[in-house]
């Protein structure tokens, strides 16, 4: 035993010496440093017992430890035995230091733990939900939100985030559409890249960067019926062209880890799918980081009908899964599977090597407590400067859906009746998956309007209705501390109070929509309209004859047929984060001109779902866009084909005109490119920002091609009266797609190009790709 301990101590000294001598060379995670790290990893791997190896693959949820608790807990005992590789859901430097100290001082090999958390759209300073953030179409802004989230989370001891979620979804019934970037693979890929670079920076050893984890791999956003965790089944052509690109963009950006999804692919759960986790991810795409399951993902394979815990654990490891989150199937069964020949030592070692490599890349072997700086926790989290940035981001993410008679922006001296169950609820401003947010310090809409309006403004408030007539539904829609206290008065009494203040006001602002927990995980809805209690309130307000501005809170695209007809204006604010109230008020009063554009199509009816702009044509396309029914054509008898609001849609307080579309050539060859330019004129009365969007259509292909595909966008600021020329460059790479044989090619032929303000409008031109 003494000899073994001496060997361990010597190995650690050697490894520490290697770290010190190579520290100046390790400014980036590069191929050179990879070989250095590989030597270090092998040095430790050779000293590990089988049980310790398996322990590195175990990721239990710790909940919230208090200082000193680690010593007496079941998890603490496992850490001492080297049976835990990392923990998640722990917040605070004191708690994390306490647990890391157990690993470093009590375990045999003193291997540090990795600490993860769902830092999804900010840490304590919270930004808009990802769907809302994507509507900014501003990649630099999005990258900075991830940088700030990493800055705050690492200051509080966390070094690994389960973000970004890049699942493409065309079904707003699915609750987790709120966590993604909408329906388009091109835009989704740009956002995936920006988020990874924001979290990880250019040097993972810095104490203000953290390892990202792209999720949910793969296709999680396409469940049947829009029901969470449900079956996914699609062709490889659709998979490669429409759903996989954002994951690959994250891999190409250098993401350190990948989370397997809950759903099955080709009949095999993703957690244990070798084609997905090895053939595609590692061999085709060259990913060399580690793969973690989602929460109890390994165990859940049993309920898919794949086998018992030992079988599914062995299958997952053999498929390419490296870390088991919560299930402890690896911890409790892999030793037996190794003894029985169901897994090999080579496969086990490969998984352990990936986990240890990640810890080296994060600098944890150099300094296990590098993220445990009490001063950083006090000075870098939820600061005044961070909140000011969150306010700016929120205002850039809001989408103006309607603005009749230019009712917006409002005068700061106006008499305003603020009505609705979402007008005064701090707890619902941050949105779903805001686990680090101090909700009691979020700014409600009522507070924001009062702060931004002039002193001589009149702001009257009434709740107007409960969130829903259904008490039981309201209870599940406001769980996890997002309660909106239910008013005990009758529905009529609530409405009458609202009508009373409306009569004393010039304009009505109706804060209605979803509560934050009506979207997110396990929050699928078969009816994606606003709850009837709020619909009835809105109609009563409209009947007053006063202008009614809907401030729409939502985590998904909604069916808004009635609201779009009756409201004077609609501002979609999503769930805008810590500074929601201030940012909404900034837009309502015109301090910020809205510039957000939808990244998810709003349907007219839930029966149209899935509905998305880049669909295929049929052999019997509808011959009109007026909603006129045509027999034996692809249309509905009871609703027109077109959406209520298309992808890319969003109004401004000013007006932008497009003209003078030019192509630098009408032909390009296989190694050429083409420039497309357009003049955009701000012909309105306000300075503003416009997202200029470029789409193409491949007119003839060996497999059918979409009617339009986004291939470029630029967010430009244009002063009133100014004309700006916006130029795009298309290369042959932009024209490529996966064909029937899954070859990534560009086929010669004619292409249409569209440039405009959304996916349903635009100037059009044509060019040819020649051999």
Per the CB < 8 A criterion, the answer to whether 570 and 407 are in contact is no
Which of 238, 224, 177, 240 is closest to 603 using CA atoms?
177
In this predicted structure, which of 592-606, 621-635, 729-743 has the lowest mean pLDDT? 621-635
Q: What is the mean pLDDT of residues 79-103?
A: 96
pLDDT score recorded for residue 2? 40
Q: Which residues are catalytic?
A: 294
The predicted pLDDT at position 724 comes to: 98
Does position 56 have pLDDT exceeding 50, yes or no?
Answer: yes
The dihedral through the CA atoms of 401, 182, 222, 477 has a sign that is negative
Instruction: Report which DSSP code applies to 239.
Output: I
Q: Write the pLDDT tens digit of every residue in 245-275.
A: 999 999 999 999 999 999 999 999 999 999 9
Q: How many helices (H) and strands (E) does the chain have?
A: 23, 26
**At residue 116, does pLDDT exceed 50?**
yes
**Among the listed residues 571, 639, 601, the one whose alpha carbon sits nearest the alpha carbon of residue 760:** 601
Q: Tell me what pLDDT residue 665 has.
A: 97
Rounded-to-integer distance, Cα 588 and Cα 412, Å = 9
Q: What is the pLDDT of residue 61?
A: 86
Each residue's pLDDT tens digit, 123-162: 999 999 999 999 999 999 999 999 999 999 999 999 999 9
pLDDT of residue 567: 98
Length of the chain: 771
Cα–Cα distance for residue pair 86/282, rounded to 1 Å: 23
What span, in angstroms and rounded, lies between the C-alpha atoms of 743 and 737?
8
Closest-CA residue to 120 (of 111, 110, 130, 112): 130
Residue 228 pLDDT greater than 60, yes or no = yes
Could you tell me which residues come within 8 angstroms of residue 46 by beta carbon, excluding any fewer than 6 positions away? none
As a whole number of angstroms, the longest Cα–Cα distance in the chain is: 88
Question: How far, in Å, CA of 515 to CA of 425, rounded?
Answer: 9
Q: 329-339 and 297-304 helices cross at what angle (nearest 10)?
A: 70
List beta partners, residue 264.
269
Rounded to a whole number of angstroms, the distance between the first and last alpha carbons of the chain is 72
Please report the pLDDT score of residue 611 as a whole number.
98
Helix (H, G, I), strand (E, B) or coil at 418: strand
Q: Which of 251, 151, 206, 211 is nearest to 26 (CA)?
A: 206
Positive or negative, the CA dihedral 440, 446, 449, 455 is negative
pLDDT at 35: 84
pLDDT-derived band at 72, boundaries 50, 70, 90: low
Mean pLDDT taken over the chain: 94
Q: Are 225 and 174 in contact (CB under 8 A)?
A: no
The confidence band for 627, taking pLDDT boundaries of 50, 70 and 90, is: confident
Integer CA distances (angstroms), 516 to 41, 78, 120, 267, 421, in order: 44, 37, 14, 33, 12
Beta-strand relationship, 324-325 and 58-59: parallel
Backbone angles phi, psi at 78, to 5 degrees: -65, -40
- Say how far apart CA 243 and CA 249 lie, in whole Å: 11
Q: Quick check: 30 pLDDT over 50? A: no
User: With 60 as the cut, is the pLDDT of residue 644 above it?
Assistant: yes
Pairing state between β 723-731 and 673-682: antiparallel
* Burial class of residue 261 (count of CB atoms within 10 Å of its CB; 0-12, 13-18, 19+): buried
pLDDT > 60? residue 623: yes
Confidence of residue 33 (pLDDT cuts 50, 70, 90): confident
Contact partners, residue 3, CB within 8 Å, separation at least 6: none
pTM as predicted: 0.95
- Asked whether the predicted pLDDT for residue 20 surpasses 50, the reply is no
**Percent with pLDDT over 90 in the chain:** 92
Contact 502, 508 (CB under 8 A): yes
Q: Which residue has the tokens 């990802």?
A: 130
The answer to whether residue 63 scores a pLDDT higher than 60 is: yes
Residue 686 has pLDDT above 50, yes or no: yes
CB 771 within 8 A of CB 668: no
- Euclidean distance between CA atoms 426 and 578, whole angstroms: 9
Q: How far apart are CA 267 and CA 255, in angstroms?
A: 27
Contact between 526 and 519 (Cβ < 8 Å): no
Specify the DSSP element, H or E, that contains 14. helix 2-22
Q: Which of 31-35, 134-138, 555-559, 570-574 has the lowest mean pLDDT?
A: 31-35
CB atoms within 10 A of CB 35: 9
The pLDDT > 70 percentage for the chain reads: 94
pLDDT level of residue 625 (50, 70, 90 thresholds): confident
Reduce the secondary structure of 367-392 to three states and give it as a string. CCCCCCCHHHHHHCCCCHHHHHHHHH
- How many Å apart are CA 602 and CA 561, to the nearest integer? 10
566: pLDDT confidence band, cut at 50, 70 and 90? very high
Closest C-alpha to 577, from 115, 92, 131 = 131
C-alpha–C-alpha distance, residues 191 and 203, integer Å: 20
The full 3-state SS of 188-227, as one line of letters, equals: HHHHHHHHHHHHHCCCCCCCCCCECEEEEECCCCCCHHHC
- For residue 91, is pLDDT > 70? yes
Mean per-residue pLDDT for 542-567? 98
Predicted confidence (pLDDT) at residue 688 exceeds the cutoff of 60: yes
pLDDT value at residue 762: 86
Is 114:158 a contact under the CB 8 Å cutoff?
Answer: no
Q: What is the pLDDT of residues 691-727, one digit of tens each?
A: 999 999 999 999 999 999 999 999 999 999 999 999 9
Cβ–Cβ < 8 Å for 434, 481: no
Instruction: Examine the pLDDT at 192 and tell me if it is beyond 60.
Output: yes
303 has a pLDDT exceeding 70:
yes
């Amino acid at each position: 035993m003494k000899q073994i301990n001496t060997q361990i101590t010597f190995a650690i000294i050697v490894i520490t010496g290697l770290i010190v001598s190579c520290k100046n060379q390790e400014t980036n995670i590069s191929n050179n440093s990879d070989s250095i790290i590989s030597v270090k990893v092998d040095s430790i791997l050779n000293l590990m017992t089988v049980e310790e190896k398996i322990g590195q693959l175990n990721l239990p949820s710790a909940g919230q430890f208090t200082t000193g608790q680690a010593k007496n807990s079941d998890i603490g005992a496992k850490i001492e035995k080297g049976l835990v590789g990392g923990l998640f859901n722990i917040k605070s430097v004191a708690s994390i230091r306490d647990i890391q100290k157990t690993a470093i001082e009590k375990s045999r090999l003193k291997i540090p733990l990795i600490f993860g958390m769902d830092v999804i759209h900010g840490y304590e300073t919270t930004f808009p939900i990802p769907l809302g953030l994507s509507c900014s179409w501003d990649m630099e802004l999005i990258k900075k939100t991830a940088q700030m989230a990493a800055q705050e989370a690492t200051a509080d001891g966390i070094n690994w985030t389960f973000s970004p979620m890049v699942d493409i979804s065309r079904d707003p019934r699915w609750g987790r559409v709120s966590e993604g970037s909408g329906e388009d693979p091109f835009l989704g890929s740009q956002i995936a890249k920006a988020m990874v670079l924001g979290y990880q920076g250019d040097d993972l050893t810095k104490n203000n960067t953290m390892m990202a984890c792209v999720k949910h791999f793969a296709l999680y956003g396409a469940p049947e019926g829009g029901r969470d965790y449900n079956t996914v089944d699609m062709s490889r052509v659709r998979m490669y062209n429409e759903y996989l690109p954002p994951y690959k963009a994250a891999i190409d950006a250098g993401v350190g880890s990948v989370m397997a999804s809950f759903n099955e692919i080709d009949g095999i759960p993703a957690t244990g799918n070798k084609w997905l986790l090895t053939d595609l991810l590692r061999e085709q795409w060259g990913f060399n980081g580690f793969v973690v399951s989602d929460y109890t993902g390994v165990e859940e394979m049993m309920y898919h009908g794949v086998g018992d815990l030992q079988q599914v654990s062995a299958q997952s490891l053999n498929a390419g899964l490296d870390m088991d989150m919560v299930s402890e199937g690896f911890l409790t069964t892999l030793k037996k599977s190794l003894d029985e020949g169901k897994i090999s030592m080579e496969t086990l070692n490969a998984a352990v090597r990936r986990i240890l490599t990640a810890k080296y890349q994060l600098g944890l072997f150099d300094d296990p407590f590098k993220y445990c700086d009490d001063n950083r926790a006090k000075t870098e989290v939820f600061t005044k400067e961070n909140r000011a940035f969150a306010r700016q981001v929120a205002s850039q993410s809001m989408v103006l859906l309607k603005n009749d008679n230019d009712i917006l922006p409002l005068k700061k001296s106006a008499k305003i009746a603020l009505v609705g169950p979402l007008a005064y609820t701090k707890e619902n401003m941050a949105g779903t998956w805001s686990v680090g947010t101090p909700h009691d310090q979020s700014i409600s809409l009522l507070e924001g309007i009062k702060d931004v309006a002039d002193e001589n403004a009149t702001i009257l408030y009434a709740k107007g209705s409960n969130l829903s007539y259904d008490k039981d539904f309201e209870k599940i829609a406001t769980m996890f501390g997002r309660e909106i206290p239910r008013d005990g008065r009758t529905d009529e009494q609530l409405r009458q109070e609202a009508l009373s203040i409306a009569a004393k006001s010039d304009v009505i602002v109706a804060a209605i929509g979803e509560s934050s927990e009506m979207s997110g995980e396990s929050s699928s809805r078969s009816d994606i309209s606003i709850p009837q209690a709020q619909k009835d309130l809105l109609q009563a307000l409209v009947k007053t004859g006063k202008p009614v501005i809907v401030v729409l809170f939502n985590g998904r695209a909604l069916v808004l047929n009635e609201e779009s007809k009756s409201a004077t204006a609609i501002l979609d604010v999503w769930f805008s984060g810590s500074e929601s109230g201030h940012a909404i008020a900034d837009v309502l009063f015109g301090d910020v001109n809205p510039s957000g554009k939808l990244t998810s199509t709003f349907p007219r009816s839930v029966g149209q779902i899935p509905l998305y702009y880049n669909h295929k044509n049929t052999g019997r396309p509808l011959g009109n866009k007026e909603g006129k029914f045509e027999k034996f054509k692809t249309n509905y008898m009871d609703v027109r084909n077109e959406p209520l609001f298309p992808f890319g849609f969003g109004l401004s307080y000013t007006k932008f005109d497009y003209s003078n579309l030019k192509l630098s050539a009408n032909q390009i060859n296989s190694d050429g490119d083409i420039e497309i330019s357009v003049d955009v004129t701000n012909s309105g009365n306000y300075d503003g920002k416009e997202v200029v969007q470029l789409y193409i259509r491949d007119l003839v292909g060996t497999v059918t091609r979409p009617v339009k595909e986004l291939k470029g966008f630029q967010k430009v600021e244009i002063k009133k009266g100014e004309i700006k020329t916006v130029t795009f460059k298309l290369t042959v790479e932009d024209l490529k797609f996966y064909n029937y044989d899954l070859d990534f090619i560009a086929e010669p032929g004619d292409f249409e190009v569209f440039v405009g303000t959304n996916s349903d409008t635009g100037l059009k031109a044509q060019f040819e790709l020649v051999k």
